[in-house]
Structure 1
Amino acid sequence: MQVNRRSFLMGTAGAAAGLAFGAGSAIPALAEDASLRAMWWGSNDRAKRTLDVAKLYQSKTPGVTIVGESLAGDGYWTKLATQMAGRAIADVFQLEPGTISDYSKRGACLPLDEFVPSTLKVDDFGADMLKLTTVDGKLYGVGLGLNSFAMFYDSVEFEKAGIPLPTPDLTWDEYAKLAVELGKSSGKSGPYGARYTYVFDAWLRQRGKSLYAKESPTLGFTVDDAKEWFDYWEKLRKAGGTVAADVQTLDQNNIDTNCLTLGKSAISMAYSNQMVGYQLVIKNKLGIAMLPREKKGGPSGHYYRPGLIWSVGATTKQGEAAAKFISFFVNDVEAGKILGVERGVPMSPAVREAILPQLNPTEQETVKYINLLKDQVGEYPRPAPMGSTEFDQRVLRPTCDELAFERVSVADAAQQLVETGKATIKG
């Protein structure tokens, strides 16, 4: 059963019959004691898994109706902004590490501390795991799995080009050479990685800095840092090591619009849990590797992070019911087997152990990758400040696009990124 960027209604009767009703359906739910709205973004595969878990939950929780909606990346944030303005936020909605601080400080999220541990059972996760979704001392979400940054590559294209597969100690200089070779061999090089805040963050962390300052809500890098970053990618683009400017602008930071998915490149930079979704739409076998680093033996810039997060809308009238659904989502073994590792390696040790035997080769690769990082990860950064989402979508990406179209120089782009970025970050 596929659900793709559209609303669906899952009532008690619908769950029993295995049905899903599209947006606008007026099918009444039976014995409706609690009605929850859930909203997320992601691939068709994520929508199906989420739908199946919701139906499972309803089969075990009579009287609950869940109305869900799956949206494309930018459309999701537009919808969430509309809901916030109208004080009608979904009861359960999806965030990520780069947005949970921003939205919780804007009043979109309900603090969940009162539901722990009576309703929301997260004790087994460990204190450090809860820190990943804690902002200003309050728990504003529950991580749905661990992941980290990653580099996916088309192993067939590497083999055709006779290029050795990326290793954990691959440097940025070595990456540039192999990306150019790939471009010459197949016409499929790599992404214009400057557009990804998390890749820039890793690059900065390798140099003892970070995207956002550790002590105060502002940028953690200088104009010179930005200039060096942009200069690297512009030289690589002009050498044929990245996709063309008109291709990179199509990328909305999701699987469907990524240059690897579109068949324009042989490499993608994304989050490790997304490998499952990428492999579903790409014919050739994918490999996974760490991001390049500044120098061999140097810091990787990686850290563990919650792949995605369930938060509860601040305007909900069903806070406890929403917390109960989230608790089921992250703790139920049957639910875990449905979800696999598409949203990251499960936080619950019991669920993680239960699903390992059933994972397909791609899913197993993501678990191996998380284990590989054990001795490579650094400290988890402080939550991203308010304005971080706008910085990503309205500052960094447009600046990179102007640069790639040669409408602005590297020096001017760096100055623009810092000046506009500082004005965007609000603390």
Structure 2
Amino acid sequence: MIVDRRGLLRSGAAFSALALTGLPRGAFAAGTDMRCVWWGSAERNQRTQAVIDLYVKQNSGLAITGEPIAGSDYWVKLATAMAGRNIADIFQLEPSTISDYSGRGACMKLDPFVGSALDVSNFAEGTVKLTTIDGTLYGVGLGLNSFAMLYDADAMAAAKVEIPRDRQMTWTEFAALAKAFKANGPKKRNYWAAPYGARYFYLFDVWLRQKNKELFKDGGIGYDASDAEEWFAYWEDLRQNDLCVSADIQTRDDNSIETNSLTLGNSAIGFAYSNQLIGYQKLVPGTLDLTAFPKMESGPSGHYYRPGLIWSIGATSQNGEAAARFISYFVNDIEAGKILGVERGVPLSLPVREAILPGLNETEKKTIAYIDFLADKVVAYPPPAPIGANEFDRNVMRVVADQLAFGQIDVKTAAQNLVDRGKEVLSARK
């Protein structure tokens, strides 16, 4: 399924006819008490809590407890909640986990609420399908994003290293950039141009799509040992030549903004998601910019538009309708949209997108410009990631890459392990 690429991102006359008003206020039964959990940076926590507070203030009889959870602890606590049948009323997922958790019975079906408690009528064409699994709606996208290479523009300028702004750089150019940065960049201890990208499953995903392959296919893996060997060999060449972050530093990254080597001051580049530029810029002293991941000498970009993050309703919630009403407010209300900005991605609601654009700051505008830059480059949105995709990321991709970086295994063994363990994890979940 390919989302309407160009019309999806541009505001204009087509949107002006849509009413730019918030949703009706209401009263809840006395004692309606819900929990809302998510992960993210301090910036996300503040914005999310502000919207919760605004909504509660406008709706008598309702209490919502916001529970931000740091980094990898989120998935541990979600697993515990599932085991105890005590999943939060509203909880956050992402494209690589919604299929997994809906398949394991964590998510309530949202179709019964659509058109009543849950309004998605103003979403850009095709975007509701991004959170639909096997014909059932299990979540609501909170913004549109894509993968992105974030970089410290000040550090690059100091090193006299230029990153193309009108095209994707190639993987060969990226390696040359890392070498030039080492020669000319700031002479700081434990500081490189690039992170050790071998352990990022989403970077591997884009790289495979540039080869017209897929990370996941038909519920299993979509790559073979030769693909994995080529991938690992590229990053090992950089690491062994001291052109990317060392193993001991890279393993600190638990896939959060605070632990990324860019934020920690160990690299001038970070591989992340476009909406995360806002959270990164809050923590990085230099001026950040963003561009696409590197690509092959020819062929597709490998990038695709995706729902950056997703609200789902816990399957065990006793407040399904109330939770749906809150989600509807979160994604449709203009004042909420102004608070949230584009920190979770470009709003899927066209009226909200139109309303917030004039008030965005320069960092936020960069994320909009980047999504627009990708408009004629993105490929089709892939099928939902299979059950086990989250475990593949945490217990296969990262583990194998770390073992390789620490010299515990060689490239050929790492490649075969990525195939064998990947198959094992995904087949166990079928």
CA distance, structure 1, for counterparts of residue 162 and residue 253 of structure 2? 27
CA distance, structure 2, for counterparts of residue 396 and residue 180 of structure 1? 26
* Offset of residue 32 of structure 1: 3.7
* Offset of residue 235 of structure 1: 0.4
- Structure 2 segments unaligned to the other structure (5+ residues): 1-27
**More RCO (CA 8 Å, sep 6+):** 2
User: Which whole-Å deviations, capped at 9, do the CAs of 1:332-358 have from their partners, x for residues lacking one?
Assistant: 000000000000000001000100111
Amino acid at match of 2:41: S
2:198 pairs, out of 191, 194, 198, with: 194
Q: Tell me if structure 1 keeps the 8 A contact 2:170–2:295.
A: yes
CA distance, structure 1, for counterparts of residue 168 and residue 375 of structure 2? 15
Q: Tell me if structure 1 keeps the 8 A contact 2:396–2:418.
A: yes
CA distance, structure 2, for counterparts of residue 51 and residue 309 of structure 1? 16
Indicate the residue corresponding to 1:345 in structure 2: 346
Amino acid at match of 1:245: A
SS in structure 1 at match of 2:239: helix
CA distance, structure 2, for counterparts of residue 375 and residue 202 of structure 1? 16
User: Which whole-Å deviations, capped at 9, do the CAs of 1:299-343 have from their partners, x for residues lacking one?
Assistant: 100000000000000000000000000000000000000000000
CA distance, structure 1, for counterparts of residue 154 and residue 232 of structure 2? 30
* Offset of residue 86 of structure 1: 0.1
CA distance, structure 2, for counterparts of residue 32 and residue 181 of structure 1? 64
CA distance, structure 2, for counterparts of residue 405 and residue 366 of structure 1? 35
TM-score normalized with structure 2 length:
0.90
Q: Tell me if structure 2 keeps the 8 A contact 1:182–1:266.
A: no
CA distance, structure 2, for counterparts of residue 169 and residue 338 of structure 1? 32
Indicate the residue corresponding to 1:293 in structure 2: 295
Tell me if 1:208 matches 2:212.
yes
SS in structure 1 at match of 2:358: helix
* Offset of residue 360 of structure 1: 0.4
CA distance, structure 2, for counterparts of residue 333 and residue 105 of structure 1? 33
User: Which whole-Å deviations, capped at 9, do the CAs of 1:260-314 have from their partners, x for residues lacking one?
Assistant: 0000000000000000000011111001100000115x21000000000000000
Q: Which moved more, 1:173-182 or 1:196-205?
A: 173-182
Q: Tell me if structure 2 keeps the 8 A contact 1:90–1:312.
A: yes
Q: Tell me if structure 2 keeps the 8 A contact 1:204–1:210.
A: yes
Tell me if 1:92 matches 2:99.
no
Indicate the residue corresponding to 1:67 in structure 2: 65
Indicate the residue corresponding to 1:386 in structure 2: 387
1:126/1:164 CA distance change after superposition, 3 Å: closer
2:228 pairs, out of 226, 229, 232, with: 226
1:153 pairs, out of 151, 164, 167, with: 151
* Offset of residue 31 of structure 1: 7.8
Q: Tell me if structure 1 keeps the 8 A contact 2:108–2:138.
A: yes
CA distance, structure 2, for counterparts of residue 82 and residue 183 of structure 1? 45
Q: Tell me if structure 2 keeps the 8 A contact 1:189–1:240.
A: no
1:357/1:395 CA distance change after superposition, 3 Å: same
Amino acid at match of 2:196: Y
2:271 pairs, out of 269, 272, 278, with: 269
CA distance, structure 2, for counterparts of residue 146 and residue 385 of structure 1? 21
Q: Tell me if structure 1 keeps the 8 A contact 2:275–2:343.
A: yes
Q: Tell me if structure 2 keeps the 8 A contact 1:145–1:344.
A: yes
CA distance, structure 1, for counterparts of residue 173 and residue 402 of structure 2? 24
CA distance, structure 1, for counterparts of residue 425 and residue 121 of structure 2? 37
* Equivalences for residues 242-261 of structure 1 within 5 A: 242-261=244-263
Amino acid at match of 2:203: V
Indicate the residue corresponding to 1:360 in structure 2: 361
User: Which whole-Å deviations, capped at 9, do the CAs of 1:371-390 have from their partners, x for residues lacking one?
Assistant: 11110100000000011000
CA distance, structure 2, for counterparts of residue 307 and residue 120 of structure 1? 19
Indicate the residue corresponding to 2:24 in structure 1: none
* Offset of residue 126 of structure 1: 4.0
Amino acid at match of 2:287: K
Runs of at least 4 residues of structure 1 off by over 4 A? none
Q: Which moved more, 1:62-71 or 1:304-313?
A: 62-71
Percent sequence identity over aligned pairs: 55
Indicate the residue corresponding to 2:23 in structure 1: none
SS in structure 1 at match of 2:258: coil
Q: Tell me if structure 2 keeps the 8 A contact 1:41–1:72.
A: yes
SS in structure 1 at match of 2:253: coil
CA distance, structure 2, for counterparts of residue 159 and residue 182 of structure 1? 10
TM-score normalized with structure 1 length:
0.91
Q: Which moved more, 1:164-173 or 1:322-331?
A: 164-173
Indicate the residue corresponding to 1:18 in structure 2: none
User: Which whole-Å deviations, capped at 9, do the CAs of 1:22-42 have from their partners, x for residues lacking one?
Assistant: xxxxxxxx9843111000000
CA distance, structure 2, for counterparts of residue 63 and residue 340 of structure 1? 28
